[in-house]
Amino acid sequence: MSIEIQNISKQFGTFNALSDINLEIPSGELVALLGPSGSGKTTLLRIIAGLERADQGEIRFNGVDTSESHVRERKVGFVFQHYALFKHMTVFDNVAFGLTVRPRSTRPSKAEIREKVIKLLQLVQLEGMAQRYPAQLSGGQRQRIALARALAVEPQVLLLDEPFGALDAQVRAELRRWLRKLHDEIHVTSVFVTHDQEEALEVADRIVVMNKGKIEQAGTPDQVYDHPANPFVLNFLGNVNLFHGRLHQPGGEQHESGEHTVSYVRSHDLEIDRSQLDSTALKAEIKHIQKLGPSVRVTLAVAGSGEMVEAELTRDVFQVLGLQQGEAVFVRPRQVRVFVEDYQI
């Protein structure tokens, strides 16, 4: 089922949560709403679900306006950040809930419900847990049950609110991959909210970057990462260095950073070398070296301007170079971006 979001605005008191949001989500797509806290992404998700009401604008499911339909009529599945499992019911009853509250006329028989629940538990790989209570499950298991419960009513849209936010890193990574696989099998139109750019890049078909109640950019992970529309998107999806002053782009172009232009270079786009390989390289002194597992972050001060920049190197490149704190080296940007508008990060 496709979702059309038209001119949605929402205010909480004097706070503008959403300002004129327009977005189209074709059927079967897995979309990530990515942004910092307060960007409005959860508010937008809840408006789609019907848990909040927009002040202005419309949401259409398959072209049909949903403003008059109540939450329970919208046939959406919602997965909450803190699972919201019914704590006094067994796992089985939790997953079956959506089916058992149906009016008598549309309610499946007990046997049918049982079959469905068991199939869903198998899908989330938790068949043995049917008689346990949520308190007896781990975080990752609870989230999978929450997902099974949402899928039990065969929703046309699946909405997930920071589904892996409350889990530890290892479990989060596993569930991320698992969600992607699930979507590849089931193809339900899905929208999930996250502030983790890695998660969005890994899981989503399309990423919608939001900030302060507006959409900054919407596109595929490649589009958003390699061709950011503005400095905010560039900075949110990776670490970025700002250069004030003249920068030579590889390929001969020269960028002069004046009052209205700032040059941006991603941390991993800065090469470090002991010799000046060409005119694009800048002299700099290594101020600090921070090892971060598989990568190494090197903080340098550019000679002359004194600007602090960060370069990210892989472990093996760093080991080959054998850099030391205090060394004078050259940094060379592999790719430079310039945004002409006066934009603050």
Partner 1 sequence: MSVATKIGTTKKNGNHRSTEPAAIRWLLTAIALLFLGLFLLVPLAAVFSQAFEKGVAVYLAAINEADSWSSIRLTLITAAVAVPLNLVFGVIASWGIAKFSFPGKNLLITLIDLPFSVSPVISGLIYILIFGRQGWLGPFLEGHDIKIVFAVPGIILATVFVTFPFIARELIPLMEAQGRDEEEAAMVLGATGLQTFFRVTLPNIKWGIIYGVILCNARAMGEFGAVSVVSGHIRGMTNTLPLHVEILYNEYNYTAAFAVASLLAFLALITLVVKTVVEWKVRQQMAE
Question: What value does the CA radius of gyration of the chain take, rounded to a whole number of Å?
Answer: 24
Taking the C-alpha atoms of 282, 285, 290 and 296 in order, what is their torsion angle to the nearest 10 degrees?
Answer: 30
Strand ranges (E), 75-122: 76-79
Written as six digits, the tokens of 290 are 């921070």
Q: How far is the CB of 319 from partner 1 (least distance, A)?
A: 37
Give the type of residue at 239.
Answer: N
The CA distance from 197 to 3, in Å, is 23
**Interface with partner 1 (CB under 8 A), residue from 11, 16, 38, 51:** 51
User: Residue 192 or 236: which CB sits closer to partner 1?
Assistant: 192
Q: Between residue 54 and residue 73, which ones bind partner 1 under the rule CB under 8 A? A: 71-72
> For residues 146 and 262, which CB has a smaller minimum distance to partner 1 in the complex?
146
What separation, in Å, do the N-terminal and C-terminal C-alpha atoms of the chain show? 36
Six token digits for residue 236: 């949110």
Query: DSSP code of 113?
Result: H
Q: Taking contact as CB under 8 A, which single stretch among the options 58-66, 148-156, 163-171, 271-279 is the one that binds partner 1?
A: 148-156
Give Dmax (Cα) for the chain.
79
Q: Which of residues 89-108 bind partner 1 (CB under 8 A)?
A: 89, 97-98, 101-102
Q: How far is the CB of 54 from partner 1 (least distance, A)?
A: 17
The residue within the footprint of partner 1, chosen from 64, 82, 131, 174 (CB under 8 A), is 82
Distance set, CA 106 to CA 76, 98, 118, 152, 193 (Å): 17, 12, 20, 14, 32
Q: Which of 149, 255, 266, 337 binds partner 1 (CB under 8 A)?
A: 149
Q: Does 136 bind partner 1 (CB under 8 A)?
A: yes
Please tell me whether residue 339 binds partner 1 under the rule CB under 8 A. Answer: no
Q: For residues 103 and 251, which CB has a smaller minimum distance to partner 1 in the complex?
A: 103
Pick between residue 98 and residue 231 the one whose CB is nearest to partner 1: 98
User: Which residues contribute to the site for partner 1 (CB under 8 A)?
Assistant: 49-51, 71-72, 76-78, 80, 82, 84-89, 97-98, 101-102, 133, 135-136, 149-150, 152-153
